[in-house]
Amino acid sequence: MVTGLGLWGVVLVVSLVVLVKGADSFISAAEKIGKALKLSPFVIGVLLVGIGTSLPEFASSVSALISGNVEIVAANAIGSNITNILLIVGILAILAKKFIIKQDLLASELSLFVVSTSLFIGVAFDGVITQLESALLAIGFVIYLLYIIFGNNQEAPAVAKYKGEKEIGEITKGTIVTFLFGLGGILLGAHFLIESVVSISSILGIATGVIAITIVALGTSLPELFVSLAALKSGKTEVAIGNIFGSNAFNILFAVGVPGLFGTLILDPKTLSIGIPILAVASFIFVITGIAHRIYRWEGLMFLVYYAFFVMKIIGF
């Protein structure tokens, strides 16, 4: 048992690394291809910062759906959003000492974050997300994309990174190879990630959703952490915090809504009784801090304490 658990533990870690690195390579190559095809900074920004950082969640959701482990889909998205808010924002607030959140960020991201999170909690509250409810999430995703691309969002963080760039470039063989390797890493990483989660849950006798909402969610949230830390290091705090707003909306509308079109999704008991309420409270706190236009270091510490509480409740302490 110990040997099997250790082996699958290694597979879990390696598959997470492959999945995240594959997504990183895929995004890097997609950026170059987008510029070569003369796509607008708005489109590139939305695809890379928005969909790009949610690729690990989406890929693992699709793999879970294919393998019949539908409870992993919602658990991963819920856990990822909780991790984004409580862990990543907590870390950012501590490192930055005090976040100043601009009004234009709230105008472009906050309302969409509130609507998407409320819609998701509404459809998931009974423990079952039907295909019709997934269709509502997917429609919300399309509306979200259209708003970001065509709405009044000249300062939206999803496109701020690419504003003013004139580089066009060309699609080289190296770019294509990187793109394909990245895609392969995403597919392989997601497949073995789900295999390891199912095997570990079987060995330990615990629900797959428990592992998905904690360990898998933490691993698939790494792209959001890296993007936010890079933005913070360059002094772009609005990009760092806006990335969390946007990524959370993409996780529940894209990574749950689209796979859910092909099958009914189930929430395991702990995800339903613990994950949903904590997601609701964490999102509410995040919105309040956003409206206050700042996040202090002590608030960041409280976010981390609340995250530790969430993990302990999920694993049964």
- Burial code (b: 16+ CB inside 10 Å, e: under 16) for 208-230 equals bbbbbbbbbbbbbbbbbbebbee
User: 27: domain range?
Assistant: 2-315
Count: domains in the chain: 1
Per-residue pLDDT, averaged over 151-174, amounts to 56
DSSP letters spanning 29-75? HHHHHHHHTT--HHHHHIIIIIIGGGHHHHHHHHHHHHHT-THHHHH
Of the candidates 229, 303, 270, which has an alpha carbon nearest to the alpha carbon of residue 78? 270
Place of tokens 């895929």: 26
Place of tokens 């394909």: 180
Please give the DSSP secondary-structure letter assigned to residue 166: -
Whichever domain contains 266, its CATH number is: 1.20.1420.30
Bridge partners for 98 per DSSP: 296
How do residues 176-225 score in pLDDT, each as one tens digit?
Answer: 888 888 888 888 888 888 888 888 888 888 888 888 898 888 888 877 78
DSSP-based three-state secondary structure for 104: helix
- Does residue 106 register a pLDDT over 70? no
DSSP-based three-state secondary structure for 98: strand
Per-residue tokens: 71: 């409870």
How do residues 109-158 score in pLDDT, each as one tens digit?
Answer: 777 888 899 999 999 999 999 999 999 999 998 888 777 666 644 444 44
How do residues 285-313 score in pLDDT, each as one tens digit?
Answer: 988 887 777 788 888 899 999 999 999 99
Q: Classify residue 78 as exposed, middle or buried by CB count within 10 Å of its CB (0-12, 13-18, 19+).
A: buried
Per-residue tokens: 77: 């998205």
Residues 22/186, Cβ–Cβ less than 8 Å: yes
- Does residue 98 register a pLDDT over 70? no
How do residues 26-48 score in pLDDT, each as one tens digit?
Answer: 877 877 777 777 766 555 655 56
Those residues with Cβ within 8 angstroms of residue 317's Cβ, 6 or more apart along the chain or in another chain: none
Sign of CA dihedral 291, 293, 298, 299: positive
